[in-house]
A and B are shown apart, each in its own frame.
Chain A
Amino acid sequence: MNSLSATFSRFGGVMLLPVILALVAFVLIGRPSSWLTLTIAGLAMGMMIFLMASGLSLIFGLMDVLNFGHSAFVSFGAFIGATVLAALGIWVRGDSAFLNILALVAAIGAATAFGALAGWFFERVIIKPVYADHLRQILITVGALIVAEEILLVIWGGTPMPVPRPAILTGSFLIGDVAVEIYRIFAFLLGLAVYVILHLTLNRTRIGLLIRAGVENREMVEAMGFRIDRLFIGVFMAGSALAAMGGAMWAGYQGLITPALGSELMVMVFIVVIIGGLGSIQGSLLGALMVGLTTNYVAFLFPKLALASTMLLMMIVLLWRPWGLRPAVKG
C-alpha cells in the first residue's frame, strides 16, 4: 500500500487524477470517437470554469476573503461580452478573420476591464470594512450579490439574450471521424494561456513572490515593510477580471444567456474550489478539469446521475482529503 502511494506521488500525485479519470471513462465508454468528443468538451468546460475559480481561490488564499458575490462578476462579464459582440454585429458576422478577432478581443477585453474596475470598487467599498470577520464577510458579499443581480435585471431585463459568435470560431474540423468544435479548442487554449501566465507570475516574478509570501504569512510580509493592502487590491482586481473573462467565454459557449447564469455557475465554481483546495492555482485547475470531465462523462454514461455527479465527486474528495486536493492554506 505504501509503495503504491509512493509511486502515485512520484508520477505527479493528485495531478494524475484527471488522467486516471479519462482512462477509466475510456474503458467504460468503449468508443474512441465519443470519448474524444466528450474529453474535449470536458477540458474546454473545465478551462472556462478554471478562469472563474482561480480568481476566487487566489483572493481567498491571499486575503482570507471568500467572495460570495464572485458570481456577479461572471454574470456581468457574460452580459457585457454579449452586448459588445451584438454591437459589433458586422465585424462579428463578416468574413474578415481580422475583424472577427478584433470583435472577439474587444468583447473579452471589455468584460475583463469591467471586471477589474468593478473588482476595485468592490474591494474598496464592500469588503475593506469587514476584513478578518468571516461572518460579516459572508453576509456582506451575499448582500452585494443580491444587489448586483438586481442591477443586472434592471439593465438587461429578465429575458434570455442571444450571443453572436464570431464567424471564425463557429463550425468545427475533423480529426479522423471526430468533429471538434473550434470554440472548444479556443476556450481550452485561452484557459491554458491564463494558467501559464498566472503560474509564471506567481513563481517567477517579485510580485508573485510577495503574493505567495502573503498567502503563507501576511503579518511577516507587512513587517518587512511591504504594502500588502495594495497587493490585495491588485489580486482582487485580477481575480474579478478573470471571473468576468470566464463569464464572457461562457456566454460565447452557451450562445444564449440568462441572468440566472451567474448563480448556476457559482455552485460549480464553489465545488471546483472545494475539490481543488482553497488558495492554489494548481488546485483550481485540477478541480476544474475533474469537474468538467466528470460532468461530460457522466452525462453520457448515466444521464440520470448527471446532476448529482459533481456533488458526489465533491463528497468523495472531501472524505479522502478534507482540505481539498491541493490546498495552499491550512486552517
Chain B
Amino acid sequence: MTTQSIASPMHTVSARVTIGRIIVYGFAAIVGLCLLFAPFLFPDVRAQEVAARICVFIVLVASYDLLIGYTGIVSFAHTMFFGLGAYGTAIALKTMGRGFDAIVVGGSLGVAAAFILAVLIGLLSLRVKEIFFAMVTLAAASVMLVLASQLSNFTGGEDGITYEIPRFFSPANRLEDANGDQIRLFGVPVTGRLYLYYFVFLSSLALFYLLVRIVRSPLGTVLQAIRENEMRAEAIGYRVVAYRTSVFCIAAVVAALAGVLRAVWLRYTGPDVTLSFDIMIDVLLMVVIGGMGTMVGAIVGVVIMTLAQFYLKDLMGAGAQATADLPLIPDLLNPDRWLLWLGVLFILLVYFFPSGIAGTLLGKGGRK
C-alpha cells in the first residue's frame, strides 16, 4: 500500500511518451548499438580504447548514480572501490601469472575488500548527516590513494603495475581456419582482442542491467523514499541505516567489478587510471551532466564527457592558437585547462538544470 502510493506518481510520468523520452532513449539505443558493433564500426585501436572506456565508465557512473541520485548519499570514495577491484586483479595477475584463475581470485579478493570497507564506512558514518559522510569518504579515499602510492612493493607506487592478461585475450590468439589463415568477420580479424572487447562489453551490459533491475525493484522505490523524506521512510518502518548501508555496499561491489574489467582491459593499473581524485571528479561530472536519478543519464553523461575530453581539447587548442597574441586568453584556452570550462558548465548545470540532460528531457526537471 505504502510502496504503491510512493511509486504511483513516478509511473504516471514514465507512462507518457514525450519527445524528450524519445531523444534520450533513442540516444541510449544508438550508443548501445555503437558499442555493440564498435570493433566493426571503428576498427582503429584508439576508438576501441574509447569504446571500452565508455563501457566500464557507464557501469561505474550508474553505480554512483544509485548512491547519489537514487538514495541521496554523496560519497567521494567511489574510485576507491573501483581501484580496489582493479588493484586486486592487477596484483593477482602479476603474482600468479596470466590465467583466468588469477582474474577470478584477485577480482574476488578486491571485491571482497571493497565490500568489507563499504560495510565499515557505512555502519560507522551513514547514521549521521550526509555532509559528514561526504567528508569521511573523502578522507578514506585520500588515505587509500596515499597508501597505493606508498606501498610500492605491492602496488608499484606512482608508476602502477603492468602485467599480462590470459593468452586467450591477447592479439596473438588468432582464430584460424583449416588452412591456417586468419578468419575475418566483416573484414575484422578475429583475435583475442575481439574476445576481450566483448568480454568487457557483455560484463558491463550485465552489470548495467543488474543496476536497472535494482532501481526498478521494491528496493529502488524504498531508496527513493529515503531520498525524498528520510523521517517519513523511517516512520513507515524502513530501517534507513540498513538500507543506506546495503545500497552503499551494492554500489561499492559494482564499482569494484567495473575496476576488474578496467584492469583486464588496460593491462595496466596505476593511481592515475583508477584511484585518483581526477577520476572521482570525472564520475561526479558525468552523473550530474547526464542526470542524477536516471540510469539512462549515466549513458548520456559518460558519452558526452568522454567525447568532450577528446574533442573539447582539440577545439581549445585551436582557440588558443587563434588568440595567441592576446593576453591571458590563450592561457585560459590552453587544452590542459579544459577542466576549467567543464567546471563552469558543471556549476551552471547544477543551478539551472539540477536534474541534468537526461533528467530534464525526461521531464523530471521540476523536482527539487
Residue ranges of A at the interface with B (Cβ–Cβ < 8 Å): 60, 66, 68, 126, 129-130, 133-136, 138-140, 142-144, 146-147, 150-151, 153-154, 263, 266-267, 270-271, 273-274, 278, 307-308, 311, 314-315, 318-319, 322-323, 331
- Interchain CB contact under 8 A, A66 and B134: yes
Chain A binder among B4-12, B29-37, B242-250, B340-348: B340-348
**Residues in A whose Cβ lies below 8 Å from that of B354:** 136
- Interchain CB contact under 8 A, A146 and B343: yes
**Residues in A whose Cβ lies below 8 Å from that of B340:** 146-147, 150-151, 154
> Which residue of A143, A263, A314, A322 is within 8 Å of B139 (Cβ)?
A314
- Interchain CB contact under 8 A, B139 and A271: yes
Q: Told that A142-B284, A273-B135, A318-B136 touch, could you supply 17 new A-B pairs with CB distance under 8 A?
A: A60-B131, A134-B130, A140-B350, A140-B351, A146-B281, A146-B339, A150-B337, A150-B339, A150-B340, A267-B143, A270-B135, A271-B139, A274-B135, A278-B132, A319-B124, A322-B128, A331-B129
- Tell me whether B23 is interfacial, beta carbon within 8 Å: no
Give, as a whole number of angstroms, the nearest-CB distance from A262 to chain B.
12
Residue of B nearest to A66 (CB): B131
Contact A134 to B131, CB < 8 A, known contacts A143-B343, A263-B277: yes
**Residues in A whose Cβ lies below 8 Å from that of B216:** none
Q: Which of B307-343 contact A (CB under 8 A)?
A: 328, 331-332, 334, 336-337, 339-340, 342-343
Question: In the docked arrangement, what's the CA distance between A145 and B341, Å?
Answer: 13
Q: How many A-B residue pairs have CB under 8 A?
A: 103
- Interchain CB contact under 8 A, B337 and A322: no
- Interchain CB contact under 8 A, B332 and A142: no
- Tell me whether B140 is interfacial, beta carbon within 8 Å: yes
- Tell me whether B108 is interfacial, beta carbon within 8 Å: no
Give, as a whole number of angstroms, the nearest-CB distance from B44 to chain A.
31
- Interchain CB contact under 8 A, B138 and A267: yes
- Tell me whether B288 is interfacial, beta carbon within 8 Å: yes
Question: In the docked arrangement, what's the CA distance between A154 and B339, Å?
Answer: 12
Can you list 21 A-B pairs with a CB-CB distance of less than 8 A? A66-B134, A66-B135, A134-B129, A136-B350, A138-B130, A140-B347, A140-B350, A143-B343, A143-B350, A144-B347, A151-B340, A154-B332, A154-B334, A154-B337, A154-B340, A267-B143, A270-B138, A273-B135, A274-B132, A319-B124, A322-B127
- Interchain CB contact under 8 A, B139 and A142: no
- Tell me whether B202 is interfacial, beta carbon within 8 Å: no
Question: In the docked arrangement, what's the CA distance between A274 and B134, Å?
Answer: 11
Residue of A nearest to B347 (CB): A143
Residue of A nearest to B348 (CB): A143
Question: In the docked arrangement, what's the CA distance between A66 and B368, Å?
Answer: 19
**Residues in A whose Cβ lies below 8 Å from that of B143:** 267, 307-308, 311
- Tell me whether B203 is interfacial, beta carbon within 8 Å: no
Contact A138 to B131, CB < 8 A, known contacts A151-B340, A307-B150: yes
**Residues in B whose Cβ lies below 8 Å from that of A147:** 340, 343-344, 347
Q: Which of B109-160 contact A (CB under 8 A)?
A: 124-125, 127-132, 134-136, 138-140, 142-143, 146-147, 150
